[in-house]
Structures are given as structure tokens and as C-alpha cells.
Chains A and B, each alone.
Chain A
């Protein structure tokens, strides 16, 4: 061997490791998962733990050979389950055709990983902020009662009564109100039972309460929806906003100052706000409630998200487009979260309504209890409505008086 040939061989041997490491580096840059054969790396796991969003398509696409899917699924046969990562990925990403004996569409989804996110939301922010919202509203009303006291009529009562709500209106109101209270209480029992009731009375005592609460919640919902439709039909015409509402709002409805009585028709601006809140939140909570009552039959979020994306709504809040392909379970989880969020807002508003309709204002309960109010009350709180009522009475009386 000549010296020059020896040097050449040594040079090649010397550069080979460097070239190999350069190639490794190049591979690492282009495919960070080359070292693991395409599956996740430690960095992927750490990134997830840091809460970073990572593209999971490298896992969802790695679910086995498409052409041989039948043979692939047969691994779940009578010979037992082969522990095959690709098979589990296929199950996880719902990329496999399964045959199940259950008839529900969700039964074919063996795994779905949004469940933990839902559970964390339900057990965390939902309970915490929902509970604080209700407590804050109760506290606010207590402070208002302490500062303002019970709102009484400024003038003495006349003893003359006028019909404010007829019996069918009152029936509809109480059908809605009674069912709402039952739904609110049983809903809170379902949500807070594990953290607030079981520690007090134990699992055995809570179990029948939870079962009864579930029955009440599922079935009383129909009475709520019936009451909601009745109330909407009866009162929607009286609740169209008008210029009077601005005047009413400008003086806070006279709620904060004695002797202030802005004119109002059958419903003042405050009552209109309550009415429209009940209609909007009531129909929304009914929609999500129906979706929950008939599991997996009435999915609504994928379609809603598609429309929101089409209008670019997520972009307004600096968000990525919302997911439009959702597993059946994800639909149910979102329906439950939305149902509960709307319920908390609804309950907070209705607490204020119950307050002003009972202890907050003298004579207010009579309107919906007996259906009649004193003329003084009507004059102070709904002056234009009383004038219309008087004018109609005079006209009817004139029409019924025989001409001489």
C-alpha cells in the first residue's frame, strides 16, 4: 500500500463519523421523530405536559395499513387482543370499522380523548365560577336590600284592585317558574353533589337523592318547555322595546331613589330585560337539554361551529377556527357544558327577578299571586298601562250603556 492510498483511507475513516452525525442532524431537523420510528418523542410528551398545542396528525395518521383493515381489526377476535400500538391508535382516532351490539352511534367510538378536558372543565372552572356567580348575585341583592330597603308605594293604597294578569297567564308563569326552580335545584345537586353533599351525608344517602334528582331533571324539563312556549306567546307583543324603555333605564327604573316613577306600559324595561333573557336563555337551554335527553341523537355543536367559522367569529377573539368534526361523546360533553353555563347565567338573572317580585317590592307578588294589584301600585309602576286599562273600561262601559 502506498502512503498516498493510506492517507486517503484514513481521511475517509476520519470524516465518516462527522458525515454521519451531520446526516443525523439533518434528519433530526426535517423529522424530529425519526429516532422513534415516527411515534412520539419525549419532547412531544413534555410539550403536552407544558400545555403546548402540538400537531397530533403524526399519531392519528399512523393507524395501520388501510388495505388490510379487516385483518387489522380481527386482532380483536376470540384469540385475544394483540397489544399493537397502531391498533390502539386506530381505536383512539376512530379510524377503524367496528361491529358492536349496542345500537347507539356512540358505541362505535371505543376511545375519545376529549373526556378528560371536559371533566377538568366540569370539575374546575364550571363549578368554581358558576358557584361564585350565584353567590355574588345573592350578596349583591342582600346589599341592595340593606341599602334601599323594601320598595314601597309612595302614596297610600286605595283598596281598589285592577286585574294585572289573568288566570292562564299566571298558570303559564308558575308552570315555568316552578319547573325552573326544580330544574335549578336538581341541576345544582348533580353538579355539586360530589364535592358538597357526599362529604356531608355519604354516598349511600346521596345515591337516592341523585337518582330522584335525575328523574325530576329529565322529566320536569317538559313542563319547563311548555311553560316557556306559553309565556313567550302570551307576552312577546308586550315586550317589544320602545323609546319609553330608554327613559326607564335612564332613571334606573326608580329602583334606586324614592319617589321616582318612570312611565311604563304593561312591562317596563327591567321586565323586558328579564323576559328576553328568559326567552333567549330558555330556548338555548332547552336545545342543549334536548340534546342531552336524547343522547347522540341531536348533535348540534359541529353544525354550530361550522356556521361560526363561516362568519369568522373565532377570529374576532383571536382564536383558531373551531373543530367541525366532533366525536358523539364530544357533542354530549359540549352540550353539558353549554347547558350548565347557560343555567348559571339564567339562575343569576332569575334570582334578581325572584327578589324584586317578592321581598324587594311591596305588592309585586300580588300581581302574579292573586293576579290583581292596587291602583296606587299600578299608577306608580305601570302608569301608561293603567291609563290604557281605564280608557278601555270607560269605552266598554259606554258601549254597554243603552242609549236613551
Chain B
């Protein structure tokens, strides 16, 4: 059963990593959908 639990943990590691990585590389909704003339801060 160890493989199963490791896989379940891996799901969240991959999910969190994907979220951070996409945010870091400029794929956040804010980055993608706003322009310089739109102030979101």
C-alpha cells in the first residue's frame, strides 16, 4: 500500500508545483489577461 500513499502525496506535490511553476513563468490570469493600462495592484 506504500506505493498508493506515495502516489497520493505526489498528486499534491505535482499540483502545487504546477501552480507555482505556471505562476512563476507568467501564466497567472493577471499576467495573461491584463495590459499596462489596467491596474490590478
Q: Which residues of A contact B (CB under 8 A)?
A: 101-104, 107, 167-168, 170-175, 178-179, 182, 215-216, 218-220, 222-223, 226-227, 294-295, 368-371
Contact = CB atoms under 8 A, between A and B. Distances in A.
A101 B4 contact: no
Contact of A222 (B7, B14, B36): B14
Interface string B1-19: 1111011101100111011
What secondary structure prevails in chain B residues at the interface with A? helix
B15 A178 contact: no
A226 B35 contact: no
Interface of B: 1-4, 6-8, 10-11, 14-16, 18-19, 27, 32-38
A225 B34 CA distance: 29
B37 to A, nearest CB: 4
A179 B34 CA distance: 31
B2 A167 contact: yes
Contact of B38 (A101, A170, A222, A226): A101
B35 A178 contact: no
Given A102-B38, A103-B32, A219 B16 contact: yes
Given A101-B37, A104-B33, A223 B15 contact: yes
A174 B7 contact: yes
A226 B34 CA distance: 31
Contact of B27 (A103, A173, A216, A294): A294
Nearest to A174: B7
A219 B14 CA distance: 8
A103 B33 contact: yes
B1 A369 contact: yes
Given A101-B35, A102-B38, A167 B15 contact: no
A209 to B, nearest CB: 17
14 contacts: A101-B36, A107-B33, A171-B3, A171-B10, A174-B4, A174-B7, A216-B15, A219-B16, A219-B19, A220-B11, A220-B15, A222-B14, A226-B14, A368-B4
A218 B2 CA distance: 26
B37 A171 contact: no
Contacts of B15: 216, 219-220, 222-223
B10 A175 contact: yes
Contacts of B1: 369-370
A39 B27 CA distance: 44
Nearest to A107: B33
Contact of B3 (A170, A218, A226): A170
Contacts of B10: 171, 175, 223
B11 to A, nearest CB: 4
B35 to A, nearest CB: 4
A175 B2 contact: no
B33 to A, nearest CB: 5
A227 to B, nearest CB: 8
